[in-house]
Chain A
Protein backbone atom coordinates (compact mmCIF):
# COMPACT_ATOMS: atom_id res chain seq x y z
CA UNK A 1 0.00 0.00 0.00
CA UNK A 2 1.43 3.34 -1.11
CA UNK A 3 0.68 5.68 1.79
CA UNK A 4 2.41 8.71 0.30
CA UNK A 5 1.52 9.64 -3.26
CA UNK A 6 4.15 11.76 -4.99
CA UNK A 7 3.55 13.56 -8.27
CA UNK A 8 4.60 14.01 -10.94
CA UNK A 9 6.78 10.95 -11.35
CA UNK A 10 8.90 12.56 -14.06
CA UNK A 11 9.50 16.20 -14.93
CA UNK A 12 11.63 17.50 -17.78
CA UNK A 13 11.91 21.28 -18.03
CA UNK A 14 14.08 24.06 -19.39
CA UNK A 15 16.42 26.12 -17.26
CA UNK A 16 14.61 29.09 -15.72
CA UNK A 17 11.19 27.45 -15.46
CA UNK A 18 9.29 27.02 -12.21
CA UNK A 19 7.94 23.71 -10.96
CA UNK A 20 6.03 22.16 -8.09
CA UNK A 21 6.20 18.62 -6.73
CA UNK A 22 3.43 17.27 -4.53
CA UNK A 23 3.21 14.65 -1.80
CA UNK A 24 -0.24 13.61 -0.64
CA UNK A 25 -1.53 11.16 1.93
CA UNK A 26 -4.64 10.31 3.88
CA UNK A 27 -2.43 9.77 6.96
CA UNK A 28 -1.12 12.33 9.42
CA UNK A 29 2.64 12.55 9.82
CA UNK A 30 4.72 13.71 12.78
CA UNK A 31 7.03 15.45 10.34
CA UNK A 32 7.90 15.32 6.68
CA UNK A 33 11.29 15.34 5.07
CA UNK A 34 12.38 16.18 1.53
CA UNK A 35 15.50 14.57 0.12
CA UNK A 36 17.41 14.96 -3.15
CA UNK A 37 19.31 12.01 -4.52
CA UNK A 38 21.82 12.09 -7.35
CA UNK A 39 22.75 8.99 -9.37
CA UNK A 40 24.98 6.61 -7.43
CA UNK A 41 24.65 8.55 -4.17
CA UNK A 42 22.52 8.38 -1.06
CA UNK A 43 19.60 10.75 -0.43
CA UNK A 44 20.62 14.11 1.02
CA UNK A 45 18.25 15.76 3.47
CA UNK A 46 17.00 19.13 2.19
CA UNK A 47 14.47 20.11 4.82
CA UNK A 48 12.22 18.87 7.61
CA UNK A 49 8.78 20.37 8.21
CA UNK A 50 7.03 19.70 11.47
CA UNK A 51 4.18 22.15 12.08
CA UNK A 52 0.97 22.18 10.05
CA UNK A 53 1.04 25.10 7.60
CA UNK A 54 4.79 25.54 7.98
CA UNK A 55 6.70 27.07 5.08
CA UNK A 56 10.47 26.80 4.75
CA UNK A 57 12.72 28.30 2.11
CA UNK A 58 16.09 27.06 0.98
CA UNK A 59 17.40 29.49 -1.65
CA UNK A 60 15.14 28.88 -4.68
CA UNK A 61 13.31 25.97 -3.03
CA UNK A 62 10.12 26.53 -1.03
CA UNK A 63 8.66 23.72 1.07
CA UNK A 64 5.18 23.73 2.56
CA UNK A 65 3.54 21.35 5.01
CA UNK A 66 -0.25 21.10 4.80
CA UNK A 67 -2.36 22.43 7.65
CA UNK A 68 -3.49 18.90 8.55
CA UNK A 69 0.07 17.49 8.22
CA UNK A 70 -1.06 15.06 5.54
CA UNK A 71 0.51 16.64 2.48
CA UNK A 72 3.45 18.73 1.36
CA UNK A 73 4.75 20.55 -1.68
CA UNK A 74 8.14 21.55 -3.02
CA UNK A 75 8.31 24.54 -5.33
CA UNK A 76 11.47 25.39 -7.26
CA UNK A 77 11.79 28.86 -8.77
CA UNK A 78 13.95 29.42 -11.85
CA UNK A 79 15.24 25.86 -12.01
CA UNK A 80 18.91 25.29 -12.78
CA UNK A 81 20.62 22.23 -14.32
CA UNK A 82 22.16 21.63 -10.87
CA UNK A 83 18.65 20.95 -9.55
CA UNK A 84 18.50 17.77 -11.62
CA UNK A 85 17.97 14.66 -9.50
CA UNK A 86 15.49 12.42 -7.75
CA UNK A 87 13.37 14.23 -5.18
CA UNK A 88 11.93 12.08 -2.41
CA UNK A 89 9.40 13.05 0.21
CA UNK A 90 9.20 10.96 3.37
CA UNK A 91 6.68 11.21 6.16
CA UNK A 92 7.54 10.16 9.70
CA UNK A 93 5.07 8.03 11.61
CA UNK A 94 5.26 6.27 14.93
CA UNK A 95 4.33 2.69 14.07
CA UNK A 96 4.90 -0.65 15.76
CA UNK A 97 6.78 0.93 18.65
CA UNK A 98 9.26 2.91 16.65
CA UNK A 99 9.58 5.82 14.29
CA UNK A 100 9.38 4.92 10.61
CA UNK A 101 9.77 6.93 7.38
CA UNK A 102 7.19 6.36 4.68
CA UNK A 103 8.70 7.28 1.32
CA UNK A 104 6.96 8.59 -1.74
CA UNK A 105 7.92 6.99 -5.05
CA UNK A 106 10.04 9.98 -6.01
CA UNK A 107 10.02 12.66 -8.71
CA UNK A 108 12.80 12.47 -11.25
CA UNK A 109 13.60 16.03 -12.36
CA UNK A 110 15.69 16.89 -15.40
CA UNK A 111 16.55 20.55 -16.01
CA UNK A 112 17.96 21.22 -19.46
CA UNK A 113 20.24 24.19 -20.23
Chain B
Protein backbone atom coordinates (compact mmCIF):
# COMPACT_ATOMS: atom_id res chain seq x y z
CA UNK B 1 0.00 0.00 0.00
CA UNK B 2 1.18 3.50 -0.81
CA UNK B 3 2.03 5.32 2.36
CA UNK B 4 4.00 7.88 4.33
CA UNK B 5 6.59 6.40 6.70
CA UNK B 6 8.33 8.17 9.55
CA UNK B 7 11.34 6.94 11.49
CA UNK B 8 11.88 6.67 14.30
CA UNK B 9 8.43 6.71 15.90
CA UNK B 10 9.96 7.84 19.20
CA UNK B 11 13.15 9.84 19.59
CA UNK B 12 14.84 11.01 22.76
CA UNK B 13 17.59 13.59 22.55
CA UNK B 14 19.49 15.75 24.97
CA UNK B 15 19.17 19.49 25.25
CA UNK B 16 21.36 21.03 22.55
CA UNK B 17 22.22 17.73 20.82
CA UNK B 18 21.39 17.75 17.09
CA UNK B 19 18.73 15.33 15.97
CA UNK B 20 17.40 14.24 12.55
CA UNK B 21 13.95 12.89 11.85
CA UNK B 22 13.20 11.12 8.58
CA UNK B 23 10.21 10.71 6.32
CA UNK B 24 9.73 8.62 3.22
CA UNK B 25 6.78 8.19 0.91
CA UNK B 26 5.67 5.73 -1.73
CA UNK B 27 2.86 7.96 -3.04
CA UNK B 28 5.16 9.69 -5.56
CA UNK B 29 3.77 13.04 -4.41
CA UNK B 30 5.76 16.12 -5.38
CA UNK B 31 5.04 18.11 -2.21
CA UNK B 32 6.26 17.16 1.24
CA UNK B 33 5.50 19.01 4.47
CA UNK B 34 6.81 19.05 8.02
CA UNK B 35 4.50 19.97 10.88
CA UNK B 36 5.01 20.37 14.61
CA UNK B 37 2.13 19.36 16.85
CA UNK B 38 2.08 19.98 20.58
CA UNK B 39 -0.34 18.37 22.95
CA UNK B 40 -4.02 19.03 22.19
CA UNK B 41 -3.16 21.53 19.47
CA UNK B 42 -3.56 21.56 15.72
CA UNK B 43 -0.51 20.79 13.56
CA UNK B 44 1.68 23.83 12.86
CA UNK B 45 3.37 23.98 9.47
CA UNK B 46 7.16 24.43 9.68
CA UNK B 47 8.08 24.26 5.99
CA UNK B 48 7.45 22.35 2.81
CA UNK B 49 9.13 21.28 -0.40
CA UNK B 50 7.43 21.73 -3.74
CA UNK B 51 9.62 19.38 -5.77
CA UNK B 52 13.09 20.69 -4.86
CA UNK B 53 11.92 24.18 -3.96
CA UNK B 54 12.09 24.81 -0.22
CA UNK B 55 9.46 27.06 1.38
CA UNK B 56 9.94 28.14 4.97
CA UNK B 57 7.10 29.50 7.11
CA UNK B 58 7.88 32.98 8.39
CA UNK B 59 7.68 31.99 12.05
CA UNK B 60 9.73 28.79 11.83
CA UNK B 61 12.85 29.15 14.02
CA UNK B 62 16.27 28.97 12.36
CA UNK B 63 16.96 25.99 14.60
CA UNK B 64 14.85 23.89 12.23
CA UNK B 65 16.25 22.88 8.86
CA UNK B 66 15.18 20.41 6.20
CA UNK B 67 16.65 18.39 3.36
CA UNK B 68 15.01 16.59 0.48
CA UNK B 69 17.60 14.53 -1.39
CA UNK B 70 15.04 12.97 -3.75
CA UNK B 71 11.28 12.71 -4.34
CA UNK B 72 10.79 9.96 -1.79
CA UNK B 73 12.73 11.21 1.21
CA UNK B 74 12.66 14.29 3.39
CA UNK B 75 14.55 15.02 6.62
CA UNK B 76 13.95 17.40 9.50
CA UNK B 77 17.09 18.56 11.28
CA UNK B 78 16.89 20.27 14.67
CA UNK B 79 20.30 21.81 15.23
CA UNK B 80 20.11 22.54 18.94
CA UNK B 81 16.92 21.17 20.48
CA UNK B 82 15.46 23.02 23.40
CA UNK B 83 12.91 21.77 25.91
CA UNK B 84 10.24 23.70 24.01
CA UNK B 85 10.90 21.62 20.90
CA UNK B 86 9.50 18.49 22.51
CA UNK B 87 6.49 17.64 20.35
CA UNK B 88 5.05 15.29 17.75
CA UNK B 89 6.58 15.93 14.33
CA UNK B 90 4.40 15.03 11.39
CA UNK B 91 5.38 14.56 7.78
CA UNK B 92 2.72 14.92 5.09
CA UNK B 93 2.57 14.72 1.32
CA UNK B 94 0.32 16.00 -1.42
CA UNK B 95 0.26 16.47 -5.13
CA UNK B 96 0.14 19.90 -6.73
CA UNK B 97 -1.29 20.97 -9.03
CA UNK B 98 -4.18 18.64 -9.46
CA UNK B 99 -6.23 16.86 -6.85
CA UNK B 100 -8.25 18.54 -4.13
CA UNK B 101 -5.19 19.57 -2.10
CA UNK B 102 -5.63 16.92 0.56
CA UNK B 103 -2.56 15.98 2.51
CA UNK B 104 -1.61 12.51 3.66
CA UNK B 105 0.15 12.25 6.98
CA UNK B 106 2.65 9.82 8.37
CA UNK B 107 2.28 8.33 11.87
CA UNK B 108 4.58 10.97 13.37
CA UNK B 109 7.74 10.99 15.46
CA UNK B 110 7.36 11.83 19.14
CA UNK B 111 10.43 13.84 20.18
CA UNK B 112 11.45 14.06 23.82
CA UNK B 113 14.17 16.50 24.91
CA UNK B 114 15.90 15.78 28.21
Contacts and interface: CB of A to CB of B under 8 A. Distances in A.
Interface of B: 4, 6, 31, 40-43, 45, 48, 50, 55, 88, 90, 92, 94, 96, 100-108, 110
Interface stretch (A11-19, A37-45, A77-85): A37-45
Interface residues of A, number: 27
Interface of A: 30-31, 33, 35, 40-45, 48, 50, 86, 88, 90, 92, 96-101, 103-106, 108
Contacts of A92: 100-102
22 contacts: A31-B101, A33-B103, A42-B6, A42-B92, A42-B107, A42-B108, A43-B43, A43-B105, A48-B100, A90-B103, A92-B102, A96-B55, A98-B55, A99-B31, A99-B94, A99-B96, A99-B101, A103-B42, A105-B42, A106-B40, A106-B41, A106-B42
A43 B90 contact: yes
Given A30-B100, A92-B100, 12 more contacts: A33-B103, A35-B105, A40-B110, A42-B105, A42-B106, A42-B107, A92-B102, A99-B31, A99-B96, A99-B101, A100-B45, A101-B45
